[in-house]
Structure 1
Amino acid sequence: MSWWWAGAVGAVKKRQDESAAATKPSFKSVALILCSTGIIGTSLLDILPRDDTLGGQWKSVAEALGSLADVTHVAWSSHSIDDQNREVNAGMLRNVLVLALRSAMHGMGTGSAMIPRPSTEPDIYAISVFGSKLQKKMRDSNIFVVGSGALGCEFLKNFALMGLFCGRKGELTIIDDYVIEKSNLSRQFLFRDWNIGQAKSTVSATAASAINSSLHIDALQNRACPETELVLNDAFLEGLDAVINALDNVNARIYVDMGCLYFQKPFLESGTLGPKCNTQMVIPHLTENYGASRDPPEKQAPMCTVHYFPHNIDHCLTWARSKFEDYFSNRVKQLTFAFPEDAATSTGASYWSAPKRFPHPVQFSAVDSSHIQFILASSILRAMSFGIPIPDWVNNIPDWVSFGIPIPDWPI
């Protein structure tokens, strides 16, 4: 009888399976539940599939990334303040989209109109934002970036990650005449300590190429100024599609702005100074140019210009003033901080016994002739070594020598 019983049981099970398949609910809505192991998450997993749930039975996806393409609803977190609502829910949505894109890139999702399908293109994310037509146009663009400091590094990194200027006609030119200093490493992230003393433009171009080997980039170790117009000639400027400024001084910004205005090139002006920043998009025949509303005169020249690439007498005066502070104040303060006047040797004798004399820092005074003569002689020698013309008024240092050059206090 075992064979008959086995057959009967099998027939009943087959009918039950067919009945269950016929009554299987068709879900109209699919919900993605994040943190499904919590109190609210487990309750939603229990309630949503019921046939008496508002809107009919729901299919619940508990953080199953492979089914994200089917999701029709995402939970909304409600707060009493609108700003909190926007902040919390925007963060939730960003996280979901990042996971969805990552799933699609790894072939986990089935794809949808909002989620790009898996692709071997390095700029798949940029295409999903800009569209393939605009992305192709940007890949074949010819862009000139002036400055390779903090903003310049950020631009180059973003361009490389977005896959721009990688097309057959694409070209990115970066220009900067400065070298890398130790103080640059904290904010110019394409540089490393072993790059100190090397050209900023060359190192940043190499770093961007390491991010995206298809990037077409050319580095120039020059300054954008009238003296370099043999390199940045009319043919070069006419062939550009746009220019991006990432500079630290007003004069260079105005010079680049004048060139873009003359050759009718779109121009993105950007710059930082301490905690302040500035951006301005200049479109020919549509917006005003940068020079139409000039920034106020600079109170202080960039330190990299003063110490390495001075090109006017003001830079030489600033350098001389900083050297006075360094030699006769800061170094003395450092020495007396390490060895105070009551310091003693290991034998108990006074550290400042003869012939050593305890030093005192010198406070700069614009009415002291010896101080003024130091500034005068140092700035003239500095100008001579760099071939900078020395104006006649330098022989009569004005009172403003003691002003406008902020000297930081010694951090004791």
Structure 2
Amino acid sequence: MLPVAEARQRIVAALAPVTAEFLPLASAHDRVLAEAVAARRTQPPFAVSAMDGWAVRAADIARLPARLTQVGEVAAGAAHAGTLAAGEAVRIFTGAPLPDGADTVVLQEDCEAGDSIVEVRDGGPQGRWVRPAGLDFAEGEALLPAGRRLSARDIALAAAMNQAWLPVRRRPRIAVLATGDELVRPGETPGPNQIVASNSYGIMAWAARFGATPVDLGIAPDDVHALAGCAAGAAGCDLLVTLGGASVGEHDLVQRVLAADGRDLDFWRIAMRPGKPLMFGTARVGPAPGSPVPLLGLPGNPVSAMVCAMLFLRPALERLLGLPDREGPLETARLGADLPANDRREDFLRARLETAADGERVATPFGKQDSSMLRLLAESECLVRRPPHAPAAATGSQVEIVRFDYGF
């Protein structure tokens, strides 16, 4: 059986980022930049006042109080004609361009203004309350890097950079196909030996939240021709995710139908719990010889499918979107309950995550970890990772955790 880390690496290495598209700013929020974006102008483009007051020459207010002659007024969006001479002042408002010759702004509350004379009672050094040109950024600076998921703050910055359109990765099309005679859709009346399908809805909801476009291929019965027909809907998609049928039993048809050529299958068993029957390779969908589509076969058990999505579908989506690889040391937390020694499979335990009185995080695994219990998954905030052959762990010891994030 393949270790979890190696399986993840193989999946990521086999995929490539999807193509880019240009979107207007109003539609680019939460999308991923396909290339770095540079400023098309300097901000601010000229020196401006940071406060309401008077634009002056610092030399004229070196000794206080100082009496200056008012020679004009300038607001944001306007400009003062001419150059400020010695002994002169211009009434200025926040955001207005600093008049030529001026180098300082004094606050309006520190001045007494008459009809034409301004008495400055308190001032400051040269440059006080002035925002110089380029204070924020300069034209040509690459401020938004490729692979960045655009926040509202990024959109505001892009607008200030005078960028009306942004190059972003298109949304990957993720086809999702549930398999099994035992499944019916939510809202339908199950037969005597049937259950309600849940996996595909959770997977599609999360994939959409992550930035993909899910394509619902429905439920394929345990029939070779029906499975092939349903899978044909994945043609043109960037990834086909199947649910169930990934093992080697007589009714597990995904491998036999969609990856019949041994060269198309990379692996199909992972040394982990929950989720050992995980498959990855290339599916051949549609009329022979079939269109190749990357295939990620998730287990049929509800919790196994969702946990495997968190561990393997997420890095696949990150790769397709051109996001930076987040592989690295996991976060840690204090263990909230004793755990027995682990066996040869890497274990991921559903757990609550709380903050103790001392501010440290505490992860407490649920006592029952059956892979059919979605309720406990919904009540969890993280997974506690247990390495293969990990010794027994006592309450209070440090453990690695995988936090649920981004709508999982």
Q: Which structure dedicates a bigger proportion of its chain to strand?
A: 2
Shorter-chain TM-score tier: under 0.3
- Normalising by structure 2, what TM-score? 0.26
Higher CA-based Rg? 1
Q: Which structure dedicates a bigger proportion of its chain to helix?
A: 1
Work out which structure has the larger RCO, using CA pairs closer than 8 Å and 6 or more positions apart in sequence: 2
